[in-house]
Chains A and B, each alone.
Chain A
Amino acid sequence: MTLFGISLATMLLFGFPFMVTLLGSLILYLVVYMPDFAPKMIITMVQQVITGITPSALVCVPMFILSASIITSGESAGRLIRMLKVFVGHLPGGLPITTNASCTLFGAVSGSTQATVAAIGGTMRPMLLEAGYKSSFTLGLIINSSDIAFLIPPSIGFIVYGVATSTSIGMLFLSGVFPGLMILLMFSIYCYVYAKVKKIPTLPKASWAERISAIKDGLPVMGFPVIIVGGIYAGIFSPTEAAAAAVLYALILETIIYRAITFQRIVDAFLQTGVITGVVFILVGAGQAFSFLIGFMQIPQQLLPPLFGTDPSMLWVISIIVVVYFVACMFVDPIVAIFILSPVFQPYVVGAGVDPILLGTLVTLQAAIGSATPPFGCDIFTAQLIFRRPYLEVIGHALPFLLILILATIILITFPQIALFLPNLALGG
């Protein structure tokens, strides 16, 4: 147990690929503690990796990555930003609010925070800097706004949670919509106040002619939420079908309507999707092998009872799970954390009668918050990678956003209906 923990932590901190960290620690444990069974168990690991990557619900992941890839290399992001800017740009904090709203809407196309940081952040950051916002504020803003994208369907977090706990992915998608919008509102209020206090000059108001032309340009992008949220809400599409429809729509939008991307860029989007799929799916597979084997070694049974006590209340279970995910996602990729931890907590969740959909929303929110939290949140490194700014500058303005997100978590636990009423409505309940 101790050796297992040490090898895991060491490999994690010294920058081993997560894939090797997970598989390597397991192999080490097996070889040291049960040398007689090790070869058989390692072959079982291969079987678990296969089990991990083959649930049919996961097939929608590459499709959502693909539609985001196509959209990112085209013009949609820019048009979306312009459409929102002509309406809110003249308010105090107009540009940061545009950034928030663009990230939220872009989240309706893309399932990951990284894609959103790249697509929206790349365009918005120069504009924000020019308008007089501090560099670390713009970086904190972009990273944390992109978190909203993780709650807006499609979200890889929801898909992985749904697969790991056998919860309906469609219902999870619907449960993320209003919490996402709530955080958008909270961030926007903060940006408004920030710009007022710092006395950042406002932009001129756009004319109605400009507004109408921007809507004409940007409106087709709104087709994505219609297809994905609308399609699933109305029961027309399963998540996989919604993903396929989103790919088709992205192709039509960027090639026929906007004429923005060439054949070469489409092939490139295919390649990038393939690579990201490979890198993500091997983690899901390794995560499955990991959670199978820690279950086999009875590690959760040793660690969890003291944490939960006997007969824990619903609020206690939720609080512990929320804190554990938040901390875990500060260190490892959210996909790995969700895939490994969810099955471990599942018995307590069922026992205490926590709504699995509410928990899915909370877990995905924590995954988003954790991955934007210093020192090790992975979004910080994505932003460093994209904007090539020093680490301290990237994390310089993280605290206000972090506090807002923690407040959002507390509100969500207190008023679970914010997450649950849309799925309940869809079920007709």
Chain B
Amino acid sequence: MNKKSDGSKKLTSFQKINKYIGVVVNGVEVSILVFCVASLGILLIANVFARTFFQSIYFAEEVSMFLVMLTTFTGVSYGVRKARHIRMGAFLDAMPPKMEKTFIIIISLISALVMAIMTWASYEYLANAMSKGHMTPALRAPKWTFYVIIPIGFGLACIQYIRTIIKNFTEKEPWQSPDQQSEYEDEEIGGTQI
């Protein structure tokens, strides 16, 4: 589905590194998302049985919250990379390609800026939580471990918006995201679009 323009050309070492990083980031994000959803499912199903026959698993709520946070902020970055974030695209889609491209670049630039500010703010929030050293009630784990993913997620999202800008400067067609030309085509991984 994904037209790779660099498929036949010889890659420069910079492009090679970029491609390699892309593969690693994709692998890590996909693994985290699959792992989190699977664990959340197992945990909640186990908790139904546990509550019916014995008593609720005491850490279920805390761990599920942790998994939801991990899923959300990994999904933020993945969503930018694959053009999956929800938006009102009526006007953008109706534009001629050249104008659309200009708008995508402007949108990505502002989005990258917003994500950068959120990265900074969530890092401050994390640092503050670390200095306070609160513990979670059930597992007695340091509370800040829940927040580590937030600056990472926003930060990666920022990088993906910057990659979108670069992609639009190097390619002829307008690209909605670095890895996905538009939201109207199937994703590379998997088929079902919901």
Interface size on B, residues (CB 8 A): 64
Tell me the B85-106 residues at the A interface (CB within 8 Å).
85-94, 103
Cβ A53 vs Cβ B192 within 8 A = no
Chain A residue nearest to B125 in the complex (CB): A46
Cβ B41 vs Cβ A247 within 8 A = yes
Contact string, B125-166, partner A, CB cutoff 8 A, digits 1/0? 100100000000000000000010010000000000000000
A405 to B37, CA, bound (A): 36
Contact string, A300-319, partner B, CB cutoff 8 A, digits 1/0? 00000000000000000000
Asked whether A276 is an interface residue with its Cβ less than 8 Å from the other chain, the reply is yes
Tell me the A223-262 residues at the B interface (CB within 8 Å).
237, 240-241, 243-245, 247-248
Interface size on A, residues (CB 8 A): 76
Cβ A18 vs Cβ B92 within 8 A = no
A19 to B34, CA, bound (A): 23
Tell me the B54-87 residues at the A interface (CB within 8 Å).
61, 64-65, 68-69, 71-76, 78-80, 82, 84-87
Asked whether B194 is an interface residue with its Cβ less than 8 Å from the other chain, the reply is yes
Cβ B37 vs Cβ A15 within 8 A = no
A335 to B44, CA, bound (A): 24
A58 to B90, CA, bound (A): 30
Cβ A277 vs Cβ B75 within 8 A = yes
Among A20, A53, A68, A244, point to the contact of B41 (Cβ < 8 A): A244
Residues of B near A273 (CB, < 8 A) are 37
Contact string, A91-119, partner B, CB cutoff 8 A, digits 1/0? 00000000000000000000010110010
Among B74, B103, B117, B184, point to the contact of A15 (Cβ < 8 A): B103
Residues of B near A72 (CB, < 8 A) are 192, 194
Cβ A24 vs Cβ B114 within 8 A = yes
Asked whether A168 is an interface residue with its Cβ less than 8 Å from the other chain, the reply is no
Residues of B near A384 (CB, < 8 A) are 184
Among A17, A42, A241, A285, point to the contact of B111 (Cβ < 8 A): A17
Interface of A is mostly: helix
Q: Which segment, of A201-209, A348-356, A374-382, faces chain B? A: A374-382
Most buried by A among B47, B51, B65, B68: B68
Residues of A near B89 (CB, < 8 A) are 15, 381
A275 with B92, Cβ < 8 A, contacts A16-B87, A46-B150, A50-B147 known: no
The list of the 5 closest CB pairs from A to B, nearest first, reads A278-B75, A274-B33, A15-B92, A244-B44, A17-B85
> Which B positions have Cβ atoms within 8 angstroms of A?
30, 32-34, 36-38, 40-41, 44-45, 47-48, 51, 61, 64-65, 68-69, 71-76, 78-80, 82, 84-94, 103, 107, 110-111, 113-115, 117-118, 121-122, 124-125, 128, 147, 150, 183-184, 189-194
Known: A50-B150, A240-B44. 17 other contacts (CB 8 A): A11-B110, A14-B107, A16-B111, A18-B86, A53-B68, A62-B40, A66-B41, A244-B44, A244-B48, A272-B192, A274-B37, A275-B82, A277-B71, A278-B76, A278-B78, A281-B71, A385-B183
5 residue pairs from A and B, CB less than 8 Å apart: A15-B93, A16-B110, A39-B124, A241-B47, A278-B79
